[in-house]
Every structure is written in structure tokens, then in C-alpha cells.
Amino acid sequence: MKSALILVLMAATAHAVAVPVATPLSAAADIGKQMFFDQSLSGSGKLSCASCHDPAHAHAPANSLSVQIGGDKLKTPGVRAVPSLRYQEYTPPYEDMLDNPDGISTPGPGGGHTQDGRAATLAEQAKIPLLAKHEMANKSADDVVRKIKVSAYAEQFRQIFGADIFKDNKQAFLRALDALQAYQLEDNSFHPYSSKYDRYSSNKIGGDLTAAEMRGFAVYSDPNKGNCFACHYNGAGLNGSVKLFTDFTYAAIGVPRNKDIPANRDARYYDMGICDRPDHPRPASAQYCGMFKTPTLRNVATRSAFFHNGVFKTLKDVIRFYNTRDTEPERWYPTVKGVVQKYNDLPKRYRENLDKQAPLDGRARGSKPAMTEQEMEDLEAFLNTLTDADLVKK
């Protein structure tokens, strides 16, 4: 028992956490699992972590809503699309100048959990939805602890974290967050590495890629075509990680404003990514405005809402946006009095922050895009090989 607890506490504070191999789960992780599916740990009594992070959908939403609905009456919309919780185990804490895992690119904003990196660990990340008014909407940490105290696993919580743990709500809440982190680190469903690509890269049976998938892999890797590799890095990474399909960095790519997000009805409202963080106020952090974290491409083909604002609903549209944002902007942005309103979800004063790597390299409207129709189809075929085995449609 004590050794399991020590592992959890170390995981909560370490700069990088190796993924424990635990079958069955440690006692702390088992508590975390029960908490993850416990709807009573919400203001409404009807929302659990799994409600938005469904294991059957790569620990992401089961629907195509741009933002999910939460709150104490389940009527409060969020402001960002909910990301997957899979493959988070090697994510380092955020740094303004994080070394890029490719060993070549210059250091820059990187790391951290959530789309703006404000949570250094999975334990810190778990705190956010538990207390957010538009998510699980608990009134306070004390409120969460009171609910755990009367839960079916309360006695187990005492056995692991001490008979008097509920006499100190602050410590009880921290141990609850540690338990949620332990579950995500120990349970292999959060990082199965079971995709067709994994079989291919390990030279295992069932890993032969089709001709289209191989061509798509080449497009993914080509700096003059998809150039996906530049940010969705799949080489040897930080802390011994491999094949994560992210370099943990941040980019502003100018996705269209999503009118389906209620917050966007206010023309003055913009989600500014990093520079909306309390520790990155404007104007001092203006160079980071509009930047959001690069997610892993693993299981990207299973998603139904893409980018931080969920503006696109299909992977096909995402690929086409990357390819034609500059050459065919009228496809993506509104036209007002004959003028295409490019980058309409990013104030003009921050547009210098836009990523300038191919294919988003500012090529002229009407010019030839980086990828052909066939290459876009092939890239999509390759990205489908990143789907974990438990999610592949039979």
C-alpha cells in the first residue's frame, strides 16, 4: 500500500513520469478509476470525467459538439473543444522555451496539459474540470471531498491515504487528484500503442501498410507537402518517449471563428490560447496570443470536432484547410463586401504570431496548393493507421 502511494506522490511532482506497468491497478489508481466514472462528483450529479472523456472514443467526447455542456444544471456550454486524454503520459510541464524533442528546432512554447498548457501534471489538470463552472461545477475543493467521503469507495480512500485523511480537506483533495493521475498513468487504455502504425513500426504481423497509406506517410513527412512531421513529431522524444505524433509545441494557425460557440456571439470575445493564462497576461505575452498546443495525431480519425474551437467536424476538412487556407481562403472564411475575412478568430494585432511553415506558408490566393487531391486522400489514409485497435470499426 505504502509503495503504491509513494509512486503516486512521486508522479504528481516529477518533471517527467515514466508509465508504470501495473496489472492490476494499484490501490490508489483503482480509486482514481472509480472517481473517473463517478457522476456524483459533479454539481449536477450527472457528469463524470468519463462523460466527456469516453474510453470508447479515445477518452474524448462521443459526440460532435464543438464544446460540451456542463454546469450544475447541465445547461452551461464550454468555450473549447474537449481533447483526448490518451497519450498524455510523457507531456512535460509548460515552458516558454522548451527544448524541441526533434533536437533541431529552436526552443519555444511547449508542454503542459490542457490546450494552453496551464496544468503541469495530470493531477493539476484533473482539478480544472472538477471546479470549472461550465464543467463538473463543484463549488469548491471541500465540496468534492464531501462527496468522496460518502462515496462507495470512501473506506478504500481511508485505507490508502490514512484513517484521518478526511479531517484535512486540502490533503484529501490533493490525494484525490493524485489518484486520478495514477489511474491515467497506470491503466493501459490511456496509452495502448496498439494501432496499425505501431505494428508497422515494430515490424509485427498485421502492420503492412497499403500503397495509399505508404504514400500518405510520405506526404506526412515531406516538408514541402503535408509537413505534419514538423509539429506532429513521431521520432524519439522527450523522457524516452517515441512515436507520440506531437512535439508538445504551440502554434497559431488561424482557424475560422466558430459561430456555434455561445461565447463567440460577443464580437469582442476571442480565445487567445496561451495569453489567456493568468500567468501570461497581455501585453507582456502578446507574442503567444492565438497559440494552442499541438495535440497528438493518434486516434485523430476517431474525432468529430477538431481544433481548439471544434470548428471542423471531419478529418477530411482539416486536411483540406491546411492545404488551402491561403490558396482558397473564401472556402473557410466569410466574405464581407467582397473582402475575405481571413483569420477572423484572431485579432489583427496578433496575426504576426501565425505559423508560417508549409503548407501554411502564406502562398498567394489562387496559387497551387502544397498537396494534390490524391495526396490529401493518401494522407487521410495514413492518419487512419494511427487509430488504436480497440477503436477500429469492425
- Residue 388 confidence (pLDDT) above 60: yes
Mean pLDDT of 320-332: 99
Task: Return d(Cα 48, Cα 245) in angstroms, integer.
Answer: 28
Q: How confident is the model at residue 11 (pLDDT cuts 50, 70, 90)?
A: very low
Mean pLDDT of 50-72: 99
- Rounded to the nearest integer, the mean pLDDT of the chain is 94
In the chain, the percentage of residues whose pLDDT exceeds 70 is: 94
What top-level class would CATH report for the domain 196-391?
A: mainly alpha
Is it true that 2-80+115-190 and 196-391 share their CATH fold?
yes
Nearest to 98 by CA among 243, 291, 345, 299: 291
- Residue 14 confidence (pLDDT) above 80: no
- Residue 225 confidence (pLDDT) above 80: yes
Q: What angle do CA 262, 263, 264 make, to 5 degrees?
A: 90
Q: What angle do CA 115, 116, 117 make, to 5 degrees?
A: 95
Mean pLDDT of 38-64: 99
Helix, strand, or coil here: 267? Answer: coil
Mean pLDDT of 130-151: 99
Q: Give residue limits of the domains in the chain.
A: 2-80+115-190, 196-391
Q: How confident is the model at residue 239 (pLDDT cuts 50, 70, 90)?
A: confident
- Residue 272 confidence (pLDDT) above 80: yes
Listed in order, strand segments (DSSP E) in 17-170 are: 69-70, 76-77, 95-98, 108-110
Question: Which stretch of 4-18, 28-42, 266-280, 371-385 has the lowest confidence by average pLDDT?
Answer: 4-18
Listed in order, strand segments (DSSP E) in 41-172 are: 69-70, 76-77, 95-98, 108-110
Note the pTM of the prediction, 2 decimals.
0.92
- Residue 17 confidence (pLDDT) above 80: no
Helix, strand, or coil here: 295? Answer: coil
Q: How confident is the model at residue 238 (pLDDT cuts 50, 70, 90)?
A: confident
Which class for 250: exposed (0-12), middle (13-18), buried (19 or more C-beta within 10 A)?
buried
Task: Return d(Cα 273, Cα 280) in angstroms, integer.
Answer: 10
Buried b (16+ CB within 10 A) or exposed e, 23-60: eebbbbbbbbbbbbebeebbbbeebbbbbbbbbebbbb
- Residue 191 confidence (pLDDT) above 50: yes
What is the homologous superfamily of the domain 2-80+115-190 according to CATH?
Cytochrome c-like domain (1.10.760.10)
Q: What's the pLDDT at 7?
A: 35
CB atoms within 10 A of CB 253: 20
Q: How confident is the model at residue 19 (pLDDT cuts 50, 70, 90)?
A: very low
Q: What's the pLDDT at 374?
A: 99
